[in-house]
Amino acid sequence: MIEAYFPIFVLFIFALITPVVMLLIPKIVAKREPTPIKDAAYECGIPAEGDARERFPIKFYLIAILFLLFDLEAVFLYPWAYIYKKLGLFGLIEMGVFITILLVGYIYVIKKGALKWQ
Amino acid sequence: MYMAIFILFAIMSIAGAIMVITLKSPVSSAIALIFVLCCIAGLFALMGALFMAALQVIVYAGAIMVLFLFIIMLLNLKDEILGEDEKKVTRVFGSILGIAFLLEIGFFVRRALTVGSESLMYPVPEQFASIEVISTGLFTKFLFAFEITSVLLLVAIIGAIMLSKGEGKTEY
Amino acid sequence: MIEIPFINLAVIYPEIAIFTASVIVLLVDLFMKGEKQGTLSTITMLGFAAAAIIASRQWFHFETGFSDALIADNFALVFKLLFCAAGVLTLFLSVHYLNREKIFRGEYFFLILSSTVGMMILASANELITAFLGLEVMSVPLYLLAGYDKKKLLSNEAALKYFLMGAFASGILIYGIAFVYGNLGTTNFDEIYRALQGKTLYGEPLLLLGLGLILIGFSFKTAFVPFHSWVPDVYVGTPTPATAFFSIAPKAAGFAILFRLLFKAFAPMMPDITGILWVLAVLTMFAGNLIAIAQRNIKRMLAYSSIAHAGYILIALTTGTADGAKAAILYLLAYTAMNVGAFGIVILLGREGEKDLSIAGYSGLSRRHPIAAAAMALFMFSLAGIPPTAGFIGKFYIFRGAVSAGFIWLAILGVVNSLISVYYYLRVIVIMYMKPEAESDRVITYPLSLMVAIILAAWGTVQIGIFPNSWLNLVRDSVSGFF
């Protein structure tokens, strides 16, 4: 059975090798003669100011963690969908309780405006 | 063949883990961690736990690593903020403790292989961690654990918003 | 078709009551306009009351459910009642405090309630995964409570320290569970007990490793030395009513699961691990008491004292007998009363911005505020274990249990520690009664809710101390069916 997934393994290996090779080739082949102007973020236009690594607002984090939590919720749906037919009504009630509890969290998210970008 | 793939994934995951803790930039560490998690997914798949492998990629390598990167960028710690003085002490002390812990576990596992019951030597069962087994267990025997997970997620949602949502003015 | 498992919702009725209350609190907080603190605290109170009534009506029912993942025997129920009591008392402590510090938000009640849900699950858990999830449901709200006062740096520090330590402890715990499951093939306590028959802990290295990691995981939560380093900073940074809650309820929950784990699931291994517990108990008592002597901040002193008290209860755990379990429950009940009282007085004497927390600042208190000073003296006497207070009765039964189980040295070390602790508890009383009055513009108001909490705590302290019989009957019933 696992043999059927061999192509995925091959894909994994290729996915690994491709970027490594792509990064290595310019290192070997390309000529490098850096000048301060070449190293600047933009070679023309307004001169760069300050650090590129600015602190991110916490809003990004909030979105990320909410995505993670609802992603985890969705993960439970896969095995449930797999045996849904066997569980029947019982399974529906189980998942109903689960989703209802999380729905409270969703109402909280909406009402607090956590998804609004302002 | 199995053994070869196993060893490949095992070496890659350990090498990746070493990179996670030795690389200078936290973002590179996070990328190395994604690599480790993918390798662990490969190890799961080798044991036939394909669902676990998929979860590993979806949840860990996907969602949790995105969160990690956002947090790294949110904190944006620089060396001058972290300070140099106590770094060395914690590093040395931490590595001693870590190596001791590793040796300890190695010792226990070795002893288990020699003196313990043969329970360690079972071959992987046919249906090991297949989606069939996981879903049946999750929705019957471990039903309560499944339902209480939603409470945990609810608390986490509220906590995240409570801590990160400022009242009125945003302060950052 | 899959066989539908045996559920029996009755086993989680108290949890359902509390959880429903928490959801209602959350929704009311979201949708209600205007002044809502009264409504929210009433709902919270009703939730606790409902859960307590349900739990007391299930006395001697011995419900099990969810494929034996949960069990509601008297042992679990007495802890559920304790959590309800702790929750209600914390509520009384909180109302005035939250207004004074101007940090009232509806989520506070939600966090107290949902944390209680986790504790109740922990007390009922008859299976490792359920216990783990109960622990998480308990801990996550506690991390948030520690960081509740967002504008204060100390509170942020407390939350971060508690969270990081707690997350590592959870990791260690789940690692241990994995080893036990890998060795025995089950996570259910009854099945673990059966699977352990005829095995020795030292013949099964992975089991030893697993059990060790599980013990470390829970030791973080109950703050045994050397897993206590987070306690002082967390207790100081956390809003004071929440600190009172921290020092009682999660600790009791940790002991509940430790008792069930060690006396039921790992009972065959108990003789092998008493040595470890013995050392932990002695370390915890000595470190807690000796460091408490040096403290100048009352919250920090109470933090170290709570570590020491965990050490006394650990003596009861070490004995491994029914008498030990009974003594531990009695001690936890007594500790709840006296510690809530002590923190109540700290809140009463504090001022906005968590000021006036130094012990030296209490000097001469008896002259200006005789009632507060007298109440504080009562709680300090009780914490020190001086008769006729609850603390004395608790310690007496713990030490008696240890002696009758043959742990004479442990009992002696316990008594020595009690004597050490008398020093720093009595110092508070001496400062209050015998030192000249400190220059202070301290103005004390006596808010009703806070007074209710202190009076209830004082009543409990005296009641257990003078009329222990009904309480002894309660703890005797609570371990029936457990042994």
* C30–A112 CB contact, under 8 Å: yes
pTM: 0.92
Is B50 a domain residue? yes
- What is the rounded end-to-end Cα distance, in angstroms, of chain C? 39
Q: According to the model, what pLDDT value does residue C1 have?
A: 64
**A38 at interface of C, judged by CB pairs closer than 8 A:** no
Same domain, B110 and B134: no
**B98 — pLDDT class (breaks 50, 70, 90):** confident
Is A31 a domain residue? yes
Same domain, B115 and B139: no
Residue A26: asked if its preceding bond is cis (omega within 30°), the reply is no
* A56–B149 CB contact, under 8 Å: no
> Which residues span the domain enclosing B30?
1-78
Q: According to the model, what pLDDT value does residue B170 have?
A: 38
- Cα C51 to its chain centre, rounded Å, is 18
Is C117 a domain residue? yes
| Minimal CA separation from C2 to chain A, in Å | 6
Residues on chain B touching C1 (C-beta within 8 angstroms): none
Is C4 a domain residue? no
- Find out whether C86 and C252 touch, Cβ atoms under 8 Å: yes
Question: Which residues are CB-contacts of B5 (< 8 A; sequence separation ≥ 6)?
Answer: A9, B42, B46
Give yes or no for residue B62 having a pLDDT over 90.
no
* Average pLDDT of span B118-141: 77
Q: According to the model, what pLDDT value does residue C200 have?
A: 80
> ipTM score here?
0.93
Mutation for testing the A interface, residue in B128, B154, B155 having most A CBs under 10 Å: B154
Task: Give the Cα separation of B67 and A68 in Å (integer).
Answer: 8
Is A117 a domain residue? no
| Minimal CA separation from B67 to chain C, in Å | 16
Q: According to the model, what pLDDT value does residue C263 have?
A: 92
Nearest CB to A61; choose among B62, B71, B139: B71
- Find out whether A71 and B77 touch, Cβ atoms under 8 Å: no
Please report the residues numbered 30 through 49 in chain C whose beta carbons come closer than 8 angstroms to any beta carbon of chain A.
30-31
Mutation for testing the A interface, residue in B34, B126, B142, B150 having most A CBs under 10 Å: B150
**B135 at interface of C, judged by CB pairs closer than 8 A:** no
Is C190 a domain residue? yes
Q: According to the model, what pLDDT value does residue B171 have?
A: 39
Average pLDDT, 10 consecutive residues per value, chain C (483 residues): 81 95 94 88 95 94 90 94 96 91 90 96 95 96 93 91 94 93 89 88 83 93 91 93 95 95 91 91 95 93 95 94 93 95 92 78 85 93 92 94 93 95 93 81 82 94 93 91 75
- Find out whether C127 and C69 touch, Cβ atoms under 8 Å: yes
CATH number, domain containing residue A14: 1.20.58.1610
Q: According to the model, what pLDDT value does residue B74 have?
A: 79
Max mean pLDDT range (B85-99, B154-168, C115-129, C193-207): C115-129
DSSP-assigned beta bridge partners for residue C358 = C297
What's the pLDDT tens digit per position in A55-86?
777 888 888 889 899 999 999 999 999 998 88
Nearest CB to C117; choose among B115, B151, B156: B151
CB pairs under 8 A between A and B: 136
Residues on chain C touching A111 (C-beta within 8 angstroms): 30-31
User: How many domains is chain B partitioned into structurally?
Assistant: 3
Q: Which residue type sits at C158?
A: A
Which pair of structure tokens corresponds to residue C81? 């009642």
* Chain C residue nearest residue B153, CA to CA: C137
> Which residues span the domain enclosing A88?
2-111
Nearest CB to C2; choose among A87, A108, A111: A87
**A108 at interface of B, judged by CB pairs closer than 8 A:** yes
Q: Residue C173: name the closest of C117, C143, C212, C207 by CA.
A: C212
* Chain C residue nearest residue A108, CA to CA: C30
* B58–A71 CB contact, under 8 Å: yes
Is B172 a domain residue? no
Q: According to the model, what pLDDT value does residue C339 have?
A: 95
> Which residues span the domain enclosing C218?
9-478
Residue written as token pair 């942020």: C156
Which subunits sit against C, judged by 3+ Cβ pairs under 8 A?
A: A, B
User: How many domains is chain C partitioned into structurally?
Assistant: 1
Nearest CB to B5; choose among A9, A75, A105: A9
**B87 at interface of C, judged by CB pairs closer than 8 A:** no
- Find out whether C449 and C37 touch, Cβ atoms under 8 Å: no
- Find out whether C395 and C312 touch, Cβ atoms under 8 Å: yes
Task: Give the Cα separation of C169 and C137 in Å (integer).
Answer: 14
* Chain C residue nearest residue A109, CA to CA: C30
* Last residue of one domain, picked from the residues B12, B44, B78: B78
* Chain C residue nearest residue B150, CA to CA: C137
* C4–A90 CB contact, under 8 Å: yes
Is C378 a domain residue? yes
| Minimal CA separation from B121 to chain A, in Å | 21
Same domain, B96 and B147: no
Nearest CB to A2; choose among B48, B136, B150: B48
Which subunits sit against B, judged by 3+ Cβ pairs under 8 A?
A: A, C
Max mean pLDDT range (B59-63, B98-102, C290-294, C363-367): C290-294
Q: Residue C310: name the closest of C341, C282, C270, C346 by CA.
A: C282
**B139 at interface of C, judged by CB pairs closer than 8 A:** yes
Task: Give the Cα separation of C302 and C247 in Å (integer).
Answer: 9
Task: Give the Cα separation of C29 and C38 in Å (integer).
Answer: 11
Is A96 a domain residue? yes
Nearest CB to A94; choose among B63, B76, B139: B139
Nearest CB to B140; choose among C2, C110, C150: C2
* Sign of torsion over alpha carbons C34, C37, C39, C40: positive
Same domain, B16 and B53: yes
Which pair of structure tokens corresponds to residue B120? 């360690």
Q: According to the model, what pLDDT value does residue B169 have?
A: 44
Same domain, B25 and B58: yes
Q: Which residue type sits at B56?
A: Q
Which has the higher per-residue pLDDT, B86 or B102? B102
**C30 at interface of B, judged by CB pairs closer than 8 A:** no
User: How many domains is chain A partitioned into structurally?
Assistant: 1
Same domain, B63 and B90: no
**A16 at interface of C, judged by CB pairs closer than 8 A:** no
* C27–A104 CB contact, under 8 Å: yes
Which has the higher per-residue pLDDT, C249 or A42? C249
The three-state DSSP-derived secondary structure of chain C is CCCCCCCCHHHHHHHHHHHHHHHHHHHHHHHCCCCCHHHHHHHHHHHHHHHHHHHHHCCCCCEEECCCCEEECHHHHHHHHHHHHHHHHHHHHHHHHHHHCCCCCCHHHHHHHHHHHHHHHHHHECEHHHHHHHHHHHHHHHHHHHCCCCCCHHHHHHHHHHHHHHHHHHHHHHHHHHHHHHHHCCCEHHHHHHHHCCCCHHHCHHHHHHHHHHHHHHHHHHCCCCCCCCHHHHHHHCCHHHHHHHHHHHHHHHHHHHHHHHHHHCHHHHHHHHHHHHHHHHHHHHHHHHHHHCCCEHHHHHHHHHHHHHHHHHHHHHHCCHHHHHHHHHHHHHHHHHHHHHHHHHHHHCECCCECCEHHHHCCHHHHCHHHHHHHHHHHHHHHCCCCCHHHHHHHHHHHHHHHCCCHHHHHHHHHHHHHHHHHHHHHHHHHHHCCCCCCCCCCCCCHHHHHHHHHHHHHHHHHHHCHHHHHHHHHHHCCCCC
- Find out whether A59 and B65 touch, Cβ atoms under 8 Å: no
Residues on chain C touching A112 (C-beta within 8 angstroms): 30
Residues on chain A touching C31 (C-beta within 8 angstroms): 111
* B146–A76 CB contact, under 8 Å: yes
What's the pLDDT tens digit per position in B103-115?
888 887 777 777 6
Q: Which residue type sits at C197?
A: Q
**B85 — pLDDT class (breaks 50, 70, 90):** low
Same domain, B51 and B110: no
Residues on chain C touching A87 (C-beta within 8 angstroms): 2
CATH number, domain containing residue B18: 1.20.120.1200
Same domain, B93 and B140: no
Is B24 a domain residue? yes
Angle at C35 between CA C29 and CA C39, to 5 degrees: 60
